[in-house]
Structure 1
């Protein structure tokens, strides 16, 4: 059975499950909850880790050197039990290592470590991928945290997304869960997006590049969440239309192209690690207001 642990400081507390090393709650000392609660009426996820793919594979089949393997959307890690390897008062680290079962669907040796760490009003989540085998290790990785929308105490207030870099990044349309055409205009204007539920009528908004390394999700005259991204060039925003949450998803890797190949190495932004190499990816979120 999954085990849930808590880390805390004098400003924040976080619960993390061993299943998927998935964060279950993010609460400030005043009792406000910031993370989506996983209500099955909308979406059971809360903050899954996406590995070794982000998004869908064609017909849920992933190809490696011409051989196909079954692979569900967003990969295998979110449905696996991680081992707790370290815990302090304000931090914890879980790991997932390859097994015969994982190699049957993803034929590589790896170690995936996921750390949650608190520092004042900030939470950082860091993933480290290590190639523990002899072959080149290809993968995509991403984070899928869902935050309450409206933010706590901000019912009825307009909410916005503001990019630190003030850009108007291009956006792509999903076609059956796969990467389709680029839309003609960015929804951002001078780095600002007024959030409306109708934005997600046709699935996620995906920004392959140009959204930068930080953004703020906030309510007018109310609280806000500032995000900083490390080694995560792709950003997606998603909700089930009308749901009381918004997913802010930084990725290094995306779904396969619609009408394209199922080969893992051909997926957009795939990472490839040589034997013995490792790479880190992470985001931090800071609560204000």
Structure 2
């Protein structure tokens, strides 16, 4: 069975599993839940980490220098058992290191660490990727946290997404799990979007560019979650249609393009990390209401 680590602040309590280093719950100290509970009737995920790809690969295969490797949707990190490297009252860090098993499907030596920390009303999650190989390492990394819809205390209220930058980013859709090259009109008006379940009948809404470095997910006149993103230029919003959750997904990298290459280095927004170097990707959430 996976190990569960519990961290706390004066205002929040979170639990993180060694399986996938996945957050299992996020509560305010009054007992209200903010994170989706993983009900299998809709979706068993709660807050998976996506690595070394975000989304799908053509035919579930990537290629590295022309050599094909089998790779399932969103990569393997979310289903791997991680090692607890450090923990305190308010912070924990799990690590995933390359192994003989990972090298069979992703031929690079790496160390991936994921740190969850709480301070007051804020949760901060930071992934650090280290290239331990002797050659540049291409990869994608993304977050996939699911929060309740409606938010606690927001029952019966319209729920909205408001971009900090007030932009109207163009919409990208998926075709058999791969991103299309067509850019559709933005559903945002001056950075504001009122959510409805029918928005997701065509699967996720992806905003590959222009969504900015922060947003607020809120019930009108009620509780809210304010997000900030660092080194995560792509944004997706997703739910199973009619399910009581919303995924707010900041990414660096997307699914491969429909009709495009399987090469890792040619996937949209791929990070190519030089040998011996490290890079970080961070998001934070401020819980109010």
Q: TM-score, normalised by structure 1?
A: 0.99
Give the Cα–Cα distance (whole angstroms) in 1 for the partners of residues 109 and 221 of structure 2.
Answer: 49
- SS at 1:251's partner residue? strand
Give the Cα–Cα distance (whole angstroms) in 1 for the partners of residues 180 and 219 of structure 2.
Answer: 31
Q: Residue 55 of structure 1 corresponds to which residue in structure 2? A: 55
Q: Residue 165 of structure 2 corresponds to which residue in structure 1? A: 165
Give the Cα–Cα distance (whole angstroms) in 2 for the partners of residues 214 and 127 of structure 1.
Answer: 18
Q: Residue 142 of structure 1 corresponds to which residue in structure 2? A: 142
Whether the aligned pair in 2 keeps the contact of 1:170 and 1:182 (CA below 8 Å) is: no
Matches within 5 A, 1:70-219: 70-219=70-219
Report the CA distance between 1:154 and its aligned residue: 1.1
Whether the aligned pair in 2 keeps the contact of 1:150 and 1:245 (CA below 8 Å) is: yes
Give the Cα–Cα distance (whole angstroms) in 2 for the partners of residues 155 and 275 of structure 1.
Answer: 50
Q: Residue 274 of structure 1 corresponds to which residue in structure 2? A: 274
- SS at 2:63's partner residue? strand
Q: Residue 37 of structure 2 corresponds to which residue in structure 1? A: 37
Q: Residue 287 of structure 2 corresponds to which residue in structure 1? A: 287
Report the CA distance between 1:183 and its aligned residue: 3.8
Q: Residue 262 of structure 1 corresponds to which residue in structure 2? A: 262
Q: TM-score, normalised by structure 2?
A: 0.99
Report the CA distance between 1:49 and its aligned residue: 0.2
Report the CA distance between 1:153 and its aligned residue: 1.5
Provide Cα deviations, 1:98-132, integer angstroms capped at 9, x if missing partner: 00100000000000000000010000000000001
- SS at 2:272's partner residue? strand
Whether the aligned pair in 1 keeps the contact of 2:10 and 2:119 (CA below 8 Å) is: no
Report the CA distance between 1:221 and its aligned residue: 1.2
Q: Residue 16 of structure 1 corresponds to which residue in structure 2? A: 16
Provide Cα deviations, 1:44-70, integer angstroms capped at 9, x if missing partner: 000000000000000101111111111
- SS at 1:265's partner residue? helix
Provide Cα deviations, 1:231-257, integer angstroms capped at 9, x if missing partner: 000000000000000000000000000
Whether the aligned pair in 1 keeps the contact of 2:133 and 2:276 (CA below 8 Å) is: yes
Q: Note the aligned Cα RMSD (angstroms).
A: 0.6
Matches within 5 A, 1:59-70: 59-70=59-70
Structure 1 segments (4+ residues) deviating >3 Å: none
Q: Which 5+ residue runs of structure 2 have no aligned equivalent? A: none
For the pair 1:245 / 2:253, whether they are aligned, the reply is no
Q: Which range is displaced more, 216-225 or 177-186?
A: 177-186
Whether the aligned pair in 1 keeps the contact of 2:169 and 2:188 (CA below 8 Å) is: yes
Report the CA distance between 1:135 and its aligned residue: 1.4
Give the Cα–Cα distance (whole angstroms) in 1 for the partners of residues 275 and 172 of structure 2.
Answer: 34
Report the CA distance between 1:181 and its aligned residue: 3.5
Report the CA distance between 1:275 and its aligned residue: 1.2
- SS at 2:198's partner residue? helix
Q: Residue 46 of structure 1 corresponds to which residue in structure 2? A: 46
Give the Cα–Cα distance (whole angstroms) in 1 for the partners of residues 117 and 10 of structure 2.
Answer: 13
